[in-house]
Amino acid sequence: MKLHRLSLTAIGPFPDRVDIDFSRLGESGLFLLEGPTGSGKSTIIDAISFALYGKVAQSSAVVERMKSDHAPPGTEPIAELVFETHRGVYRIRRTPSYQRQKKRGSGTTTAHMTVKVWRLGTVDEDRMNPESGELLSANLGDAEDEITRAIGLTHAQFVQTVVLPQGEFAQFLQSKTDDKKALLQRLFGTEVLAGMQSRLIEGRRDAEQRRAAAAGAVQRAMHAFIGAAGVDETTAAQLCQHLEAGEAEAATAVVTDIVTALSATEREWQSVSAAAELTRAAAEAALRNAQDLHRRRARRDALRAERDALAGSAAEVTADRAVLAAAERALAVVGSAEALEKAIARSDEARKLDERARRALPDELMSSDETALRSAAGDQRTALGTLADAASRERGLAALHTEHDTVTATIAELKSSIAQATGQVKALPQMLNDLATERETLAITASRTESTAQELSRARHRLGAAQQAVEAARIAAEEEQITIAALSALEQHQHRLSVLRTTRVASIAGELGLALKSGDPCAVCGSVEHPQPASPGRNHVSQDDVDAAEAEFSRLRDTAENCRRQLEEQRRALTDLQIAADQLSPEMAQSKVDQLSESMAACVAAGERIGALETELAEIAQRQLELTDLVQQANVETATLNERSGTLRKQIMRDERAVLAARAGFDTVADRIAAITAAVVALDAAAEATSLLADAVRAALDCGAAFAEALRSTEFADQQDWQQARRVSSEIALLRKRIRDFEDRWSAVHAKLEEPEVTDAALDGELPRIDTLTTTVREAEAAEREAAGLFGAAHERNADGRRHAEWFAKALADAATVLAATAAAIRIGNLVAGLGDNQLRMELATYVLVRRFAEVVSAANAQLRRISSGRYQLEHTSNRTGNARSGLGLLVLDLQTGRPRDPGTLSGGETFYVSLALALGLADVVRSESGGVDLGTLFIDEGFGTLDPEVLDEVLGVLDSLRLGGRSVGLVSHVAELKARIADRIELRPNPDGSSRLKLMA
């Protein structure tokens, strides 16, 4: 950095505007700020620091002191500085906080600090127009960032390398390692290396986190296995001990033994469950056999009862056969009967009515009188009343059978549904576990989405920087060739200008000789005689020639300087791009972007899949609950239906027995009721007709003799005998049917009684008890369910144990892989962080700075040996004490005693010139660094009064030698000897009122 101009208004002891042109003072390379104490020497350095950073140079001073107490009230204090760095020419104007008159009303108010920063095209651009240039910022924070970027130093670094304020320029000599490190890192541009170190340390942390995550996964897998396999506390403690000791093989062996034991337990319960199933099947078979015996005995008893009933009615059938035979004989005298009927015309209608009525009567009532018939009708009505219940039972049997069949079919369907649902319920836990495992794997991938997105953004930024760096490198190469050509042209013209100036001196005498006239005095010696006047030579050079050459030299110098600046800017831009690209080529950066894009896509896909898995898991869990409820409801419904089925079977058997008894030989109870009803109707009709017939019969007695003769011929004793034998066709058909039905039923009963089902000898002994066998079946079913449940639990535990054992084995393998994969990252991270195998206990960035600091010490010793007459020498030490990290320690070696000294033991004068030598050495090394900060101006505030004359001579000799490098050094002192030795200076003199005036002498 090079200072050009400083303007102060109402600052410190200067109430009016003062201007300092450092460009004029810097031409000689060494200038002096001279004046008595309190005249404002340190104020100028504070003003430079304040203009740049808003802070004064001395840490013990405050910014509020910048406002001049000698200026009229309301005068705005201003510090304006024009300076130049490798980034260009800047002008900064800053005002401190001060009290000003209120615009409205009386009193004062605080005007806060303001700042403006411009970039100028040339150093003198603002002389014609104070507001010229590009305004970069008018914000305090932005302005500070802009100035720091332009200069390359913070305020603390600035006051230790450019401005060495009174009483503070020895701070760097005695500062700690970390403080030296911050300054040197900024000056030598090792932020990239520090960034790489941070990334390596972060990589070590990531590796340690990966190891911790892998170890955590092993622990989770182990505890999950312990819970899933039901491991006892002793074995679990043994497994934990193996893991804590890092004995993976021993832990794996324990897990294998546990899994083997689980398989053995499952096989044992499988055998018990199979035996229980066989026992239950045998009990059910015994129950079914007993139920079949009871059913067959009941059927045999029913058949025997039916046979006995038929045997009891055999006499009636025999009588029916006799009646049928007589009726068939009576048919032979039908002609005589018809003749008798014709003969007794008067009794025809009565007889017809009687015949119609009696044809519906049974044989035994055929000749009954009216009283008997009416009595028989009453008996039949009573019989109808006893059949009402049986008829109702008969009508309900069909519905009962239908309901029983429906219940039986429903029970079968429910059992099938229960079996199907139970199978699904057993399969669901495995599905849930598989989906949960997949979700856990996807969650790990999805958790990297944010970090992957950040890495992808950084990778794309690096790719853009890498692509721009290629073009920037090409432009830098072109700028370098242009700069080399411009510097070569400048050097050639500088040589020509030197020749012209030398020739011009010789040419002046010729020009004076031409101007001499006889009698006129000479302008040089005053003589009026000119015996041998000189004349212009062949190579005469005029002043116009020199002026033209100097103008061309200025133009070429400006051109070369502009080329150099553009080259430096292009190189800085290239360096910035290379740093932003992490030194990667576009191809490598593109490859990294592609890799991270794929990883990002996988992370996004994992996040989307997790949502689907959550929905699927919820659906399966809901399905599991629904199926469980379904099984429970079906079991309850099955039990209810089984009970209903038993009730229906009992009711059907009871109703069938009652109906069978009520039929009394009829196909149905309804048929019997119909027959009795018909008999009642016939009896009523016959009773009524009997009354009418009696009168008709008495009238037909007279014709009886003829008819009696006909009866004798058919072997009937009399008319009554014939009348009793005679039957109408319907009666005859009924008799025939009754006889045939009896014979059919008799044959059927005897045939059924001969069937093996009812002739089994087992039916004659004592039958097994149904209730006892039912209890046995229920107990066997309960035992089977219990054994099946224990077998299922053992099977699930064995499956869970094996699955978690595989998870545990995978976690151990993954942990081993992570351990191997992270070993290098942890070791390198420890090395660069000054840990682990790093015997120096020194960070990588510090190690690099130590090497650069060694150069600083070497450059400082070159100055220190001269100043101290060879007595002192700075010595860099990297030794460490205890666990403290080594770094940037300094000792002062006293060559007279041969012993090193701590810088804090030096006297005031020794401290001054030792720290001065160190500051100069630091500035020299930084100046020689490519891309470093160019310290073109150096201020040294006081300290010279502590030096003896011999040391002062050496110090001034060293400072004077700095001019050869193009550097300007400003000394702030009131030492009279310095005033005598340094011609260029700023004189400050106090006024009677306490203010100061300033005079520039250059």
Q: Phi/psi of residue 987, each to 5°?
A: -95, 130
Q: What is the pLDDT of residue 884?
A: 44
Q: Which helix (H) or strand (E) holds 117?
A: strand 114-120
Between CA 766 and CA 757 the distance in angstroms is: 17
Q: How far apart are CA 268 and CA 270, in angstroms?
A: 5
State the pLDDT at residue 697: 64
Report the pLDDT value the prediction gives residue 878, as an integer from 0 to 100. 62
Would you call 837 helix, strand, or coil by DSSP? coil
- Tokens 């500062």: give the residue: 175
Percent of the chain with pLDDT over 90: 6
Give the confidence band of 77 by pLDDT, cuts at 50, 70, 90: very high
CA neighbours within 13 Å on the CB side: how many for 856? 31
Instruction: Name the token pair of 428.
Output: 């669901």
| Gap between the Cα atoms of 448 and 436, Å rounded | 19
pLDDT band at 866 (very low <50, low <70, confident <90, very high): confident
Tens digit of each residue's pLDDT (9 = 90 or more) over 314-337:
888 888 888 888 888 787 776 667
pLDDT at 520 over 80: no
Cross-sheet strand order for the sheet of 2-9 = 18-21, 2-9, 78-85, 88-95, 114-120, 134-137
pLDDT of 82: 92
- Least confident range from 265-279, 483-497, 833-847, 923-937: namely 923-937
pLDDT tens sequence across 732-775 = 889 889 889 988 998 998 888 888 888 888 888 888 898 998 99
Which residue, 885, 860, 863, is CA-closest to 875?
860
**Secondary structure, 3-state, 563-613:** HHHHHHHHHHHHHHHHHHCCCCCHHHHHHHHHHHHHHHHHHHHHHHHHHHH
More confident residue, 324 or 951: 324
Which is more confidently placed, 64 or 623?
A: 623
Query: Is the pLDDT higher at 919 or at 518?
Result: 919
Question: Which range is least confidently modeled, 79-83, 514-518, 570-574, 738-742?
Answer: 514-518
* Burial 353-378, CB ≥16 within 10 A → b, else e: bbeebbbbbebebbebeeebbbebbe
Which helix H or strand E contains 658, and what residues bound it? helix 586-663
| The predicted structure's pLDDT at residue 51 | 92
Task: Please tell me the predicted confidence (pLDDT) of residue 534.
Answer: 58
**Distances 130 to 25, 82, 134 between C-alpha atoms, Å:** 22, 11, 12
Q: What is the CA radius of gyration of the chain?
A: 67
Which residues are CB-neighbours of 465 under 8 A, at least 6 positions away?
577, 578, 580, 581, 589
In whole angstroms, give the CA distance from residue 441 to residue 30. 72
Tell me the CA distances in angstroms from 825 to 208, 212, 217, 581, 595, one per residue in order: 9, 14, 21, 22, 20
Q: DSSP assignment, residue 134?
A: E
Within 10 A of 692 (CB to CB), how many other CB atoms are there? 16
Asked whether the beta carbons of 332 and 340 are under 8 A apart, the reply is no
877's tokens: 């030490």
Average pLDDT over every residue of 544-566: 84
82 vs 76, 113, 124, 125, 784, CA distance in Å? Answer: 19, 19, 9, 10, 102
Q: What is the pLDDT of residue 931?
A: 46
In single-letter form, the type of residue at position 364 comes to E
Q: Which amino acid is at 73?
A: P
Ranking 2-16, 187-201, 717-731 by mean pLDDT, the lowest is 187-201
Instruction: Answer whether 942's CB lies under 8 Å from 972's CB.
Output: yes
Q: Residue 986: which H helix or E strand, with range? A: strand 985-990
Whether 954 shows a pLDDT value over 70: the answer reads no
Given a cut of 60, is residue 405 above it in pLDDT? yes
Determine the average pLDDT of the residues in 716-721: 76
Q: Name the one residue in this structure whose structure tokens are 């304006």.
A: 80
Q: Which residue has the higher pLDDT, 547 or 795?
A: 795
Question: Cα–Cα distances in Å, from 492 out to 487, 540, 566?
Answer: 9, 21, 22
Look at residue 172 in the predicted model and tell me its pLDDT.
67
Give how far Cα 718 sits from Cα of 348, 363, 701, Å: 20, 18, 13
**For residue range 792-824, what is the model confidence (pLDDT) as tens digits?**
888 888 888 888 888 888 888 888 888 888 877
Can you tell me the distance from the alpha carbon of 267 to that of 795, in angstroms, rounded to the nearest whole number? 9
Which of 330, 372, 360 has its CA nearest to residue 721? 330
Q: Assess whether pLDDT exceeds 70 at residue 589.
A: yes
Residue 700's pLDDT band, with cuts at 50, 70 and 90, is low
Q: What is the token pair recorded at 419?
A: 């079996």
What pLDDT sits at residue 450? 82
> Across 814-933, where does the E strand assignment appear?
872-877, 889-894, 899-901
Q: What angle (nearest 5°) sits at the alpha carbon of residue 692, between those of residues 688 and 695? A: 150
More confident residue, 588 or 889: 588
pLDDT top residue among 886 and 307: 307
- Residue with more model confidence, 345 or 273: 273
Give the C-alpha separation, 869 to 951, whole Å.
Answer: 8
pLDDT of residue 962: 60
Which region among 26-35, 83-92, 940-949 has the lowest average model confidence (pLDDT)? 940-949
Q: Which amino acid is at 739?
A: I
Whether the CB-CB separation of 276 and 777 falls below 8 Å is answered with no
Q: Helix (H) and strand (E) counts for the chain?
A: 28, 17
- Taking 70 as the threshold, does the pLDDT of residue 904 lie above it? yes
DSSP string, 307-369: HHHHHHTHHHHHHHHHHHHHHHHHGGGHHHHHHHHHHTGGGHHHHHHHHHHHHTS-GGGTT--
The pLDDT tens digits of the residues spanning 233-281 come to 888 888 888 888 878 888 888 888 888 988 898 899 989 989 989 999 9
pLDDT confidence of residue 881: 45
149 Cβ contact list (under 8 Å, min separation 6): 87
Q: What is the mean pLDDT of the chain?
A: 79
- pLDDT top residue among 954 and 375: 375
Give me 987's structure tokens: 């004189």
On whether the CB atoms of residues 836 and 844 are closer than 8 A, the answer is no
Residue 780, CA distances (Å) to 279, 635, 973 in order: 6, 18, 116
Asked if the model's pLDDT at residue 386 lies above 90, the reply is no
Report H helices in 868-988.
908-928, 949-961, 976-981
CA angle 922/923/924 to nearest 5° reads: 90
Cα–Cα distance measured from residue 256 to residue 238, given in angstroms and rounded to the nearest whole number = 14
Structure tokens at 52: 């740049």
850 neighbors 193 (Cβ within 8 angstroms): no
Look at residue 930 in the predicted model and tell me its pLDDT: 40
- The region of weakest confidence among 204-218, 754-768, 770-784, 831-845 is 831-845
Q: Are 116 and 136 in contact (CB under 8 A)?
A: no
Per-residue pLDDT at 934 exceeds 60: yes
Q: d(Cα 940, Cα 948) in Å, to the nearest integer? A: 17
Q: Which of 370-374, 796-800, 872-876, 884-888 has the highest mean pLDDT?
A: 796-800
- pTM metric for this prediction: 0.40
B/e letters for 506-530, b = 16+ CB within 10 Å, e = fewer, are ebbebeeeeebeeeeeeeeeeeeeb
The Cα 10–Cα 65 span in angstroms is 11
Mean pLDDT of 341-355: 71
The reported pLDDT for the residue numbered 26 is 66
Classify 285 as helix, strand or coil: helix
Instruction: Count CA atoms closer than 13 A to 875's CA, side-chain side.
Output: 15
Compare 665 and 190 and report the one with higher pLDDT. Answer: 665
**Residue 209 contacts by C-beta under 8 Å, 6 or more apart in sequence?**
none
pLDDT at 171: 67
Q: What is the pLDDT of residues 642-653, one digit of tens each?
A: 888 888 888 888
Contact 593, 463 (CB under 8 A): yes
**383-388-394 Cα angle (round to 5):** 120
pLDDT recorded at residue 880: 52
Query: What number is the average pLDDT over the span 430-434?
Result: 80
Print burial letters for 937-948: b (CB count within 10 Å at least 16), e (below 16): bbbbbbbbeebe
Angle at 553 between CA 550 and CA 556, to 5 degrees: 155
Q: What is the mean pLDDT of residues 524-532?
A: 58
The answer to whether the beta carbons of residues 957 and 973 sit under 8 Å apart is no
